[in-house]
Amino acid sequence: MLNKIDALLSEIKGLKASSSAEAEELRIKYLSKKGIISSLFDEFKTVPPTEKKAVGQALNQLKNEAQQIIQRLKEQHEQSDTSHRKTDLTRPGASFPLGGRHPLSVVKNQIVDIFARLGFTVAEGPEIEDDWHVFSALNFPPEHPARDMQDTFFIHKDPDILLRTHTSSVQVRVMEKEQPPIRAIFPGRVFRNEAISARAHCIFHQVEGLYIEENVSFADLRQTLLYFAKEMFGKETQIRLRPSYFPFTEPSAEMDISCTLCGGEGCTMCKYTGWVEILGCGMVDPNVLESCNIDSKKYTGFAFGMGIERITVLKYQIKDIRLFFENDIRFLEQFKSAL
């Protein structure tokens, strides 16, 4: 058997291959489970005990030599194949999936863009606020329900530190730092202690607006909001203003738009009224101006605020606002083209 091993070793030392495929065929011929060397290991069982040591060493040497030689042939041709392969630099690159903007970001950007055409700048502020910027400077009385723990997330009491309930706090910060004319909008995330449902959430997003200048009137407010409604919901959109109350504006109003689904004819979306509420607004209360060191006898202004979720629900007819926070890819992929 030693003679057979020596003859096979000489044969293996003389192996040649013209390609990596031929080298693989040699590996199968000699080293696979049914290969020549494996068959020799099967014959090893019949070798007399006195010869087993010498034959075993020779077999192991044969196997190691075969593995090294065949591996060398494979590597040689693989390197050769790679070096001769031509790369087509004009071929398109491999594609990969693209994400998209969140629907709330899409609508927020649209709102910002509409008011930017009217000269409004964007200002932002902290989400963790103090009582002064959220309540006191905005003319909230001490007994107002919004100051209650059941409506607001308080982080600390005395002094009161809380998660802002509206972006009006940024209005106060801007008025404290700047003098009129002021024309800005304030997008951001706000928090209220509410039960989560299809129509409400403890986290939502607002865009508020503020315009302070000499001789600003309610007519300026109405025309600004009419322009916004037509740009956001379509040229046929109509608005109406209903008297309301807010501590920081006087007079105050709620603004409705003609139903985007039925065009004002009446449907389940508008509860057959033809109108859908979208925001609150009013003339800035003189007490708010004075608390921010702005002369209320010289300057007047208007303010408004809307929920971005509310606008998005109306624009895209979404029935459950919880979808905005669940990160369901099936839902989010529907807005890829809405850039």
Residue ranges for the binding site for Mg(2+)? 250
Q: Strands 182-191 and 275-284, how do they pair?
A: unpaired
CB within 8 Å of 275: residues ≥ 6 apart: 240, 256, 257, 258, 259, 264
For 133-176, the DSSP string reads HHTGGGT--TT-GGGSTTTS-EEETTTTEEE-SSTHHHHHHHHH
How many other β-carbons are positioned within 10 Å of the β-carbon of residue 309?
Answer: 22
| CA nearest to 17, candidates 92, 93, 82, 77 | 77
The tokens describing 58, both together, are 């020779």
* Residue 173 CB-half CA count within 13 A: 17
Name the binding residues.
Answer: 250
Start-to-end CA distance of the chain, whole Å, equals 78
